[in-house]
Structure 1
Amino acid sequence: MSGHAPLPGPLPVPNERRLDLERLARLREQVRAHDCGAVLLYDPTNIRYATGVSNMQVYSLHNPCRYVFVPAEGPVVLFDFFGCEHLSAGKAAVDEVRPAVSWYHFIVGDRVREKAAQWAAEIADLVTAHGAGNRRIAVDRLDPAGLWALEALNVQVADGQEVANHARRIKTPEEMLAIRAAVANCETGMRRMADALRPGITELALWSHLHQSNIEMGGEWIETRLLTSGPRTNPWYQECSDRVIEDGDIVAFDTDLIGAYGYSADISRSWVAGDGRAGDEQRRLYEAAFDQVTSNILLFRPGATFEEIAMAGRQLPERYRDQTNSALAHGIGLCNEYPLIVNRQYWEDGGIDGAVEAGMVFCVESFAGEKGGREGVKLEQQILVTETGPELLSTHPLEETLM
């Protein structure tokens, strides 16, 4: 392996009050732009974006136990898990905290319709009081019983995830400080992984260094377990195991890390274990992925459309294309975010309209692995789009000596 990235200085520290208020202002702007009186958010990353309040993030990903009502104008009401009102104390973006009304089956069993009606009545009262006559609200996640209950009270439901996605796509100045802190967190963990990588360590043991480092430095969780070695690197999307890493193996990983202030660092690297020289095929794989990522980063300039980027994007050599990942790049903030830009061969089925703007943050990625081949290489870089073009946020070096 080549030398490690330099140790970071002190982590950037955002002003959390400004961070919360900047994000809330962007969200309200999108509520108005989508002709809604309010947005109701259940996704914990959306709740955090709107309020700055974090509570049982992973638990609430699969248990809809908390939500927030954000009107276009008026008080923000956070409905939190019972007994958690104190978590919002002093939060500038929260005006009122109430206990959440839970109506999912795990909690209420066969009383879902009854409890959903109770929940909907409270939401409808807020719409009446603070919707300025607009009874159309955007909701990001909603089971059928909730939709029926709102419709019965003459509340029209729109797509809240679209509203949140458009708010989150441009990062505010304080968000960028938080993202830089998360990337620094992540790269400290990557250095610890690099130091621990020796033949004889298991994939799981190596992966644990990133988890420990992230938590130790104020990070939160990791969304996937994408670290593999040797023949498990190809095809991609296998998760880490107790396989013992052998001398000369490629070790490939994708951090998918939720770090400081709840922001994500999504960086991929591929290393060769041990002190021996990389094999010829390993070098070809690495060079293909390296060329694709570094070339495609240069396409991210304000005004470039997603289709232009997809069509102009560097393609892998033909022998690697059957297994390349569909994504050329994706947005990132509190997690992987809108938009997703697909590679050229997937455009007809998966392409979306849009254009790059200054203030967007993207992860640009590649996987190179031949169908039936022994190994593969995964690389990914995180970038900020500035008025003059892309700025590289992920600084841990790529292994240019492997090419």
Structure 2
Amino acid sequence: MTSAPLLDATRSTIEPTRKDAILRDVRAWRLARVQEQLRKHNVPAILLYDPVNIRYATDTSNMQVWAGRNPARYVMVFADGHVVAWEFHSSEHVWDGLDLDVELRGALSWTFFNAGHEAERRAQVWGAEIVDVLRQHAPGEHVLAVDRLDPFGAAYLEKHGISLLDGQALMETARLIKSSSELVLIGESLRTCEASIGRMKRELRPGMTENDLWAYLHYENIRHGGEWIETRLLASGDRTNPWMHECSSRVLQKGDLLVFDTDMVGPNGYCSDISRTWLVGDGRPSDEQRKLYEYAFAQVHFNMELLQPGMTFREFSEKAWKIPEPFVKNRYCCLAHGIGMVDEYPSIAHQVDWDSAGYDGRFEVGMTVCIESYIGAEGGTQGVKLEQQVVLIENGCASLTGCAFETDWL
């Protein structure tokens, strides 16, 4: 994987005929990554409920946000690549057109919403079928990886001799490295995000509400084939400090800082995670606003320069840009995190948080990562949030987005 062709591929328009070939490549790559993890850990199969994991393994999508709360469809992937899918009511058509060795069945939901006080009994019916399918396709095996499972289901499987393993860890590891074709799809999502951000900036003016502005991000995402937005992180004025205020009906005032984090799941189910800070209205930012921005810009770009394949997570944390003391209390929750279909492994802790939240690992070529910064003083009235999405290449990392920073503030 070389940097120039890789980055060119992420920034080019995808022609329809080329898109079909890219999707075939991506589907094969992702399923093979799941199989590789199963074989590596001597696990015959994995049962998936998380809609993002199902999308990764099979490229099927069905009410993703709703299915994240309601476990109404599930998939079992075997180490040999065979797939058994239990699809939601009358939704078998979501599998049309896929070149996939799949056995389709009807899903049985046993949540309280669907089953009421019959939940435990229905879970037993569900469990009997899961055990039967596992033993049919993996005779003699008594191990199953599961990404998430409610108590009745876990209890039934364990009672009937099935040892359960952490399937989320296997899936996060599978999703860690992106293929060149995946990066093309990530690029398409990012171009949609950039168009959405551009629309927001064109529409930004004093007198509109935060919600008014945030609606343009959603509008442009959906209009370009995107899917959903995971958070509502847009704030202005004194709501920019501390970070994590959700978008509101507050009216934007001239001279306010306006801060947002896209968390946007765009076309093809890939996430574009970009944070920027702007000034509301014409004019120049104040000295305080410029100084906050200067620190956040320095943190993001210092840490981008630092990032190298082969570096451990601990080493990155130890060598990362040192946050000035007034801003340590309100620091962002991590220095960097993985990104793919959504926020993904790893999450890199600040050095001050290492003992309580840190874990080690190693950066690799092909990982996509978001470099984070939030700068806002404890007790302050303003803050700046910046975030840049990058890919690890042989000699460092490269930005995946050309979304502009306010460099004239520096």
Q: Determine the C-alpha separation between the residues in 1 that align with 2:101 and 2:113.
A: 28
Query: 1:31 is matched with which residue: 38, 52, 55?
Result: 38
Q: Determine the C-alpha separation between the residues in 2 that align with 1:315 and 1:11.
A: 41
Q: Which aligned pairs between 1:3-18 and structure 2 lie closer than 5 A?
A: 10-11=13-14, 13=19, 15-18=22-25
Aligned: 1:91 with 2:91: no
Q: Which aligned pairs between 1:276-287 and structure 2 lie closer than 5 A?
A: 276-287=283-294
How many angstroms does 1:80 deviate by? Answer: 0.9
Query: 2:172 is matched with which residue: 150, 165, 184?
Result: 165
In 1, are the aligned partners of 2:81 and 2:101 still within 8 Å (CA)?
no
- Structure 2 segments unaligned to the other structure (5+ residues): 1-10
Q: Which aligned pairs between 1:165-184 and structure 2 lie closer than 5 A?
A: 165-184=172-191
CA RMSD of aligned residues (A): 1.2
- For residues 196-234 of structure 1, give each alpha carbon's deviation from its aligned partner in whole angstroms, at most 9, with x where no partner exists: 111111100001111000000000000000000010100
Structure-2 change in CA distance of 1:347 and 1:93 (3 Å): farther
Aligned residue for 1:365, secondary structure, equals strand
Q: Determine the C-alpha separation between the residues in 2 that align with 1:74 and 1:306.
A: 32
In 2, are the aligned partners of 1:20 and 1:93 still within 8 Å (CA)?
no
Name the stretch that deviates more: 152-161 or 203-212.
152-161
Aligned residue for 2:328, secondary structure, equals helix
For 1:129, the equivalent position in structure 2 comes to 136
Aligned residue for 2:379, secondary structure, equals coil
- For residues 240-269 of structure 1, give each alpha carbon's deviation from its aligned partner in whole angstroms, at most 9, with x where no partner exists: 111111111100000000001000000000
Query: 1:377 is matched with which residue: 372, 384, 387?
Result: 384
> Residue type of the partner of 1:44?
P
Percentage of identical aligned residues: 46
> Residue type of the partner of 2:28?
L
- For residues 303-342 of structure 1, give each alpha carbon's deviation from its aligned partner in whole angstroms, at most 9, with x where no partner exists: 0000000000002211111101120000010000001001
How many angstroms does 1:57 deviate by? Answer: 0.1
In 2, are the aligned partners of 1:52 and 1:93 still within 8 Å (CA)?
no
Query: 1:360 is matched with which residue: 344, 364, 367?
Result: 367
In 2, are the aligned partners of 1:11 and 1:184 still within 8 Å (CA)?
no
For 2:316, the equivalent position in structure 1 comes to 309
Aligned residue for 1:111, secondary structure, equals helix
- For residues 146-176 of structure 1, give each alpha carbon's deviation from its aligned partner in whole angstroms, at most 9, with x where no partner exists: 0111112211110010010110001122211
Aligned residue for 2:381, secondary structure, equals coil
For 2:88, the equivalent position in structure 1 comes to 81
> Residue type of the partner of 1:228?
A
For 1:264, the equivalent position in structure 2 comes to 271
How many angstroms does 1:11 deviate by? Answer: 4.6
For 2:343, the equivalent position in structure 1 comes to 336
Q: Determine the C-alpha separation between the residues in 2 that align with 1:74 and 1:279.
A: 58
Q: Determine the C-alpha separation between the residues in 2 that align with 1:18 and 1:93.
A: 12
Name the stretch that deviates more: 133-142 or 219-228.
133-142
In 2, are the aligned partners of 1:257 and 1:265 still within 8 Å (CA)?
yes
- TM-score normalised over the length of structure 2: 0.95
In 2, are the aligned partners of 1:47 and 1:67 still within 8 Å (CA)?
yes
Q: Determine the C-alpha separation between the residues in 1 that align with 2:327 and 2:207.
A: 29
How many angstroms does 1:387 deviate by? Answer: 1.6
Q: Determine the C-alpha separation between the residues in 2 that align with 1:125 and 1:280.
A: 68
Q: Determine the C-alpha separation between the residues in 1 that align with 2:400 and 2:330.
A: 27
Aligned: 1:206 with 2:209: no
How many angstroms does 1:74 deviate by? Answer: 4.9
How many angstroms does 1:134 deviate by? Answer: 2.3
For 2:402, the equivalent position in structure 1 comes to 395
Q: Determine the C-alpha separation between the residues in 1 that align with 2:142 and 2:56.
A: 23
> Residue type of the partner of 2:44?
G
> Residue type of the partner of 2:73?
R
Q: Determine the C-alpha separation between the residues in 2 that align with 1:118 and 1:204.
A: 46
> Residue type of the partner of 2:363?
V
> Residue type of the partner of 1:184?
R
For 2:5, the equivalent position in structure 1 comes to none
Structure-2 change in CA distance of 1:74 and 1:397 (3 Å): closer
In 2, are the aligned partners of 1:50 and 1:93 still within 8 Å (CA)?
no
How many angstroms does 1:20 deviate by? Answer: 1.1
Aligned residue for 2:389, secondary structure, equals strand
User: How many pairs align?
Assistant: 396
Aligned: 1:290 with 2:293: no
Aligned residue for 1:15, secondary structure, equals helix
Q: Which aligned pairs between 1:136-285 and structure 2 lie closer than 5 A?
A: 136-285=143-292
- Structure 1 segments unaligned to the other structure (5+ residues): 1-7
